[in-house]
Structure 1
Amino acid sequence: MAEYYDAIIVGAGPAGSTLARSLQKRGQNVLVIDKQSFPRDKTCAGWVTPAVLDSLGIDAKDYRQGRTFQPITKFRIGMMGQAPVDNDHGNQPVSYGIRRCEFDHYLLERAAVDKALGTPVKQIERDGASWLINDRWRTPLLVGAGGHFCPVASQLGEGPGGHETVVAAKEVEFEMTPEQAESCEAQGERPELWFCRDLKGYAWVFRKGQYLNIGLGREDNHRLKDHLQAFVDEMKRQGRIPAELPGRFKGHAYLLYDHAERPLVDDGVLLIGDAAGLAYTQSGEGIRPAIESALLAADVISHARDTSAESLAPYGEQISARFGHRAMEGSGINLQLPDWVKTTVASGLMRSHWFTKRVVTEKWFLHQDVPTLKKAV
């Protein structure tokens, strides 16, 4: 006979582990399933804002014990092919560099729930009012938290491969040798963001102590490798990154919030984090939206009278209230400007200290204008 759980969460990343912990503290019996064993490598530039730490109730002094925790007080912003702008945000950190292998494992360990790690989801069946997973576990509520390719997403529509605009990214993170660390021009307290000239993506160089993360993401994967190689070559030429990079660049994909079309709930099923397509549209940052979606979902689930789509509908309403209504095709501002005009305007803005600091960094990447979400976790 299949083992019963009040909720089964597919995906043990920040969204899944946060929801699991929140539901467990509310007295629910929860199972988390992930195809990978933890700790595991996760492709991500890797930084979290103070708002994320506050929402999760993380003590920074405790977290930094034995883990990478790089305070960020500055940013270097530029458009490829022109000089960058350096901005100082003061003495207090505006963000922190983390390694996802450490951060995700830390959050998962805090969740005192049953876990089936290193276990792919091979079978999802609707059996009356419940779901049967791998012919082994049964639940009335199935939550998709497994990223863009989460198998639960297919239960709510087309899933991966639909008509949505997908951001494709490639990056590498490695521990530098003492010689590389000494000669590397990148500074830990000042991540570097370099926007593509066609405005379809950006690259980064992010140092976290002895670790270095380099990557590039674009709204489509057209010539992604070419864009990445050109960026890496230029950074090497400037001495900003080591001449020899170990290992291969790893890829991942995700949806931007305004461009995602996935429904969030249906009878007995709900999506959170990247599985729901919640990454911030301007920056592609997904950790804070993942955490907040999990906290909102936990609140709705705990107050729902059952797991029907009608009872879970407030989750979608709260997501819209928190992140805004998704842009529909044909809506919004479309200036219909030629690409060269857009590039010229952007090129000038990327030379502005005010714009790169107040808009690009503080609004688009740090979301300092958005109050911290406080929910029980």
Structure 2
Amino acid sequence: MVDHYDLIIVGGGPAGATLAGAMATSGWRVLVIDKAEFPRDKTCAGWVTPAVLTSLNVLPEDYAATGRVLQPIHRFSIGMMGQAACINEHGTEPVSYGIRRCEFDSYLLDRAPVTKLLGEPVKTLLRDHGEWVVNGRWRAPWLVGAGGHFCPVARWLGDGPGRHEVAVAAKEVEFHLDAAQRAQCAVQGDCPELWFCRDLKGYAWVFRKGDYLNIGLGREDNHHLSDHLADFVQSMQDRGRLPPNLPLHYKGHAYLLYGHAERPLSGDGVLLIGDAAGLAYTQSGEGIRPAVESALLAARALSLAPAETAAGRYETALRARFGLRGDQARRGWQMPEAIKMRLAASLMSTPWFTRHVVTDRWFLHKKTPALPAWGVA
């Protein structure tokens, strides 16, 4: 027996859940398939700006009302490894919030009034008579890949994932602090710590969310990633920033930065959104806001007639929103890496640069207005 839908979404994370909810309110019959059961243990540093909550039509007080973690962020501690950090104060209103992905993703997916098949891996994809057939059982004229870096829909389109892609490899852990660890942890919840690698190929972070602590490191050069992370953790412990006893098991994941991504964004009756499309911000690696915004852009493209031009509308809107992508030629003089490293070491020690460039521009995107929530003009 084959079940028919208007849209099948592979992946129930923030991108997939946002698109599912938007299209359901437009009257589409939507199926979300995800290989994981929810709530799931999703590896992610996990913070969202107020702009993300605006685009999702989520009030902070409503989200936190039932005990979900929502850590207000008022400050950032930013530096280069081996140097002193600069602490940027942002005032009394939160400029970002720390969330736990196991809670956040489930919240978004639960509120989407669509059919969900969880714990269901995609085994087969087939294009048949103008429709997509998934696992031989579900058919739809439109298929959207929202399954992260290793999304099977992205694999079907070609050019990803694979060794030819310059992906960020990250390792991190998130755990509940016991009483002794809380007493020994100097990191404050309202002030995440970001430490950039001296070769500029990545950064490490320590982020406290109430009684939870997230520690990780991501680099575009994944050689000796575990050693880089171990050295960072040891240095933080030596300085008294972290407790001496930490979990030994770190989880790994990968994602593409938008400025380096070249995999296709669309095809015949198919779109990629979120990390499946390689949309993480180039400077910060943040993927949640691009995931949500790409879902909203996809929803607008799919909702307009004629349907045949939806893929083109989506690509045009995405590039207009996020700028020059990795598959577009870059022109002009490029600064040598050695000069970049010398300049970075100096700039990262200045409060002005770490506040106005690293924090405001790279991580908070303060000058970029939020996309309106679906159905809100």
Give the number of aligned pairs: 374
TM superposition shift of 1:332: 4.2
Q: Is the 8 A contact 1:140 1:268 kept in 2?
A: yes
Deviations, residues 85-127 of structure 1 (Å, cap 9, x unaligned)? 1110111100000000000000001101000001100111111
Return the alpha-carbon distance in structure 1 between the equivalents of residues 333 and 11 of structure 2: 37
**Aligned with 2:155: secondary structure?**
helix
**Aligned with 1:357: secondary structure?**
helix
- For 2:351, the equivalent position in structure 1 comes to 353
Matching of residue 137 in structure 1 with residue 133 in structure 2:
no
Matches within 5 A, 1:103-142: 103-142=104-143
- For 1:57, the equivalent position in structure 2 comes to 57
Compute the TM-score of the two structures, normalised by the length of structure 1.
0.97
Instruction: Decide whether aligned partners of structure 1 residues 338 and 148 sit closer, same or farther in structure 2, where only a CA change above 3 A counts.
Output: closer
Return the alpha-carbon distance in structure 2 between the equivalents of residues 334 and 228 of structure 1: 33
- For 1:324, the equivalent position in structure 2 comes to 323
Q: Which amino acid aligns with 1:54?
A: T
Return the alpha-carbon distance in structure 1 between the equivalents of residues 20 and 328 of structure 2: 35
Instruction: Decide whether aligned partners of structure 1 residues 118 and 213 sit closer, same or farther in structure 2, where only a CA change above 3 A counts.
Output: same
Return the alpha-carbon distance in structure 2 between the equivalents of residues 95 and 21 of structure 1: 24
Structure 2 segments unaligned to the other structure (5+ residues): none
Return the alpha-carbon distance in structure 1 between the equivalents of residues 155 and 52 of structure 2: 29
TM superposition shift of 1:234: 0.4
Aligned-pair RMSD on alpha carbons?
1.3
Q: Which amino acid aligns with 1:315?
A: Y
Q: Is the 8 A contact 2:122 2:134 kept in 1?
A: yes
Return the alpha-carbon distance in structure 2 between the equivalents of residues 296 and 289 of structure 1: 10
Instruction: Decide whether aligned partners of structure 1 residues 48 and 242 sit closer, same or farther in structure 2, where only a CA change above 3 A counts.
Output: same
Q: Is the 8 A contact 2:159 2:264 kept in 1?
A: no
Q: Is the 8 A contact 1:72 1:188 kept in 2?
A: yes
**Aligned with 1:298: secondary structure?**
helix
TM superposition shift of 1:247: 4.5
**Aligned with 2:76: secondary structure?**
strand
**Aligned with 2:299: secondary structure?**
helix
Matches within 5 A, 1:149-164: 149-161=150-162, 163-164=164-165
**Aligned with 1:119: secondary structure?**
coil
Matches within 5 A, 1:1-377: 1-65=1-65, 66-161=67-162, 163-306=164-307, 308=308, 310-328=309-327, 331-337=330-336, 339=338, 341-376=339-374
Deviations, residues 308-346 of structure 1 (Å, cap 9, x unaligned)? 4x432100000011001214576245444352x322211
Return the alpha-carbon distance in structure 2 between the equivalents of residues 248 and 160 of structure 1: 25
Structure 1 segments unaligned to the other structure (5+ residues): none
TM superposition shift of 1:155: 2.4
**Aligned with 1:296: secondary structure?**
helix
Return the alpha-carbon distance in structure 2 between the equivalents of residues 183 and 269 of structure 1: 50
Q: Is the 8 A contact 2:261 2:327 kept in 1?
A: no
